[in-house]
Amino acid sequence: MRLSIEQINTIVSTSRAVAGVDALVLLYGSRLDDGRHGGDIDLLIEPVHAVSLLLRARIKTLLEQKLSLPVDVLVNNPDTQENPFVSIVRAQAKLLEIMHESSTVKRNWV
């Protein structure tokens, strides 16, 4: 996955600040492939309560400002029927969670 811990934390905290603290934030697309370069950040957000188009646009705008990268935001509201594209996205997506630097550091014990 081609995102830093800082970028992941920004994505999750910003998305949840707008979509709700219990919203699932998933990454899909080219940023999952370590062999590729560049590209936008593709997110699937699954909120507990419906998120309007205006709030989806707010998430996108905030993330693009904070990350200085293009971001695509797909929202799968709980009150809508799931479409085939969302099923495909979810099958290859990775759940993002707040991370701490120490959670990725390997320790050598003597």
Residues 1-55: tens digit of each pLDDT: 889 999 999 999 999 999 999 999 999 999 898 888 878 999 999 999 999 999 9
Is the domain defined by 5-98 classed in CATH 3.30.930.10?
Answer: no
Which residues are registered as beta bridge partners of 44? 26, 74
Q: Provide the pLDDT for residue 67.
A: 97
Residue type, 64: E
- Tell me: pLDDT of 106 over 60: no
Neighbours of 14 (CB within 10 A): 19
* Maximum CA extent, the chain: 54
